[in-house]
Amino acid sequence: MYINSNESRRIGVRNRYSSSHDSDREGDLKIEAITECAWDLRDRINNNKRTKEEVSEALDRTFPQRVIDLYKNTQKRDAKQIREQLQELEQKRKDLEKIGLIVDDRETLRFSSDEDFPTDALPVLEIYIEDNKKKLAAYDKLKVQIDLLLKAINESNAFANKKLVIQTNKSHSINPYAALKAAPKALKFLTNDGREIPLERLSSGEKHAVILFYNLIFNSKEDSLVMIDEPEISLHISWQQHFISSLLEICKENRLYAVIATHSPDIVNGHWDLLVNLDGTPVDEDDEED
């Protein structure tokens, strides 16, 4: 098993843009750190949009010739298969729109389940499907990461009466010294009735959880060893009970290895098979319960 031990990086609450006299104010540090996460995700989304636009431009340039070439091909096309691929493509768009990665304002292709496509339309539909698969593929990795983040945050029940959503923004760049409230951010919290909660108004524990999971998901390198010391100190009890399950999913997706030091049985929450004592011996669940 290879673990990259050449690089060590602390997941912290560094305040990159604030004045030096604020450096000892923990609250300000955490506000800035969570804002950096929101800015970082905004930049990632914009980079993916630019990649999609570049792919679109390249495909559009060759579209006429590819249509002509397909019409020269007398190969028989399967209308049922094309219909299924169109439905899969539509579902992928809906999934991306649901998590906030795209705003799909185009008119949906309408067809009934028993409707036959005109034979002459099949080659064009075939190109349409393949082109759009390539365009939307720009979001594949980011979608997986965002799904992990939304699941870790929204399924923990630790954020009472609020949920995390992803907000897209057309702006590609900002002045790093602009006021925090004026800077476009991709992370947004909403109350159950749809009111926005500013990131700086989250509790210190909520901010810490977002920062921790964001960095694990987006800023950890494959085959790295992540060491987390006493996460229960700042995590709500609901977070503690959900923590290992979320971490296991993240480690599996990002190919990470994690070591956690904890005194909390709520962090363990049934994962006794993963527990070892400081001397390396396995922990007996019955002994712990006694």
Residue 6 confidence (pLDDT) above 50: no
Indicate whether 211 belongs to any domain: no
Indicate whether 210 belongs to any domain: no
Cβ atoms of 1 and 256 within 8 Å: the answer is: no
The dihedrals phi and psi of 124, each to the nearest 5 degrees, come to: -70, -40
Q: Say which residue the tokens 């923590």 belong to.
A: 243
Indicate whether 161 belongs to any domain: yes
Cβ atoms of 164 and 38 within 8 Å: the answer is: no
- The percentage of residues in the chain with a pLDDT greater than 70, rounded to a whole number, is 77
Describe the crossing of helices 237-254 and 140-154 by its angle, rounded to 10 degrees.
160
| Alpha-helical runs (H) found in 73-203 | 79-98, 122-136, 140-154
Instruction: Say if residue 179 is in the same domain as residue 243.
Output: no
Cβ atoms of 257 and 224 within 8 Å: the answer is: yes
Indicate whether 190 belongs to any domain: yes
Instruction: Say if residue 235 is in the same domain as residue 196.
Output: no
Instruction: Say if residue 192 is in the same domain as residue 235.
Output: no
- Nearest to residue 198, comparing CAs of 160, 146, 162, 154? 162
Which of 203, 232, 259 is a domain's end point? Answer: 203
Residue 45 confidence (pLDDT) above 80: yes
Instruction: Say if residue 191 is in the same domain as residue 231.
Output: no
Indicate whether 167 belongs to any domain: yes
Q: What is the pLDDT of residues 208-240, one digit of tens each?
A: 899 999 999 999 989 999 999 888 887 778 878
Q: What is the mean pLDDT of the chain?
A: 80
Indicate whether 214 belongs to any domain: no
Instruction: Say if residue 256 is in the same domain as residue 183.
Output: no
Instruction: Say if residue 194 is in the same domain as residue 248.
Output: no
Element (H, E) at 166: strand 162-166
Whole-number Å distance between alpha carbons of 154 and 156: 6
> What are the structure tokens assigned to 98, written together?
């649901």
Instruction: Say if residue 182 is in the same domain as residue 270.
Output: no
DSSP output for 55-93: HHHHHHHHHHHHHHHHHH------HHHHHHHHHHHHHHH
Which of 148, 178, 203 is a domain's end point? Answer: 203
Instruction: Say if residue 198 is in the same domain as residue 224.
Output: no
Whole-number Å distance between alpha carbons of 146 and 281: 37
Which of 169, 203, 237 is a domain's end point? Answer: 203
| Alpha-helical runs (H) found in the chain | 26-72, 79-98, 122-136, 140-154, 204-218, 237-254, 265-268, 285-289
Instruction: Say if residue 107 is in the same domain as residue 134.
Output: yes
The tally of domains found in the chain comes to: 2
Whole-number Å distance between alpha carbons of 100 and 97: 5
Instruction: Say if residue 171 is in the same domain as residue 77.
Output: yes
Q: What is the pLDDT of residues 128-178, one digit of tens each?
A: 999 999 999 999 999 999 999 999 999 877 787 899 999 875 444 333 333
Instruction: Say if residue 167 is in the same domain as residue 124.
Output: yes
Structural domain of residue 240, as residue ranges? 220-290
- In DSSP terms, 163 is beta-bridged to 190
Q: What is the pLDDT of residues 81-133, one digit of tens each?
A: 998 999 999 999 999 998 888 876 565 566 655 567 778 888 899 999 999 99
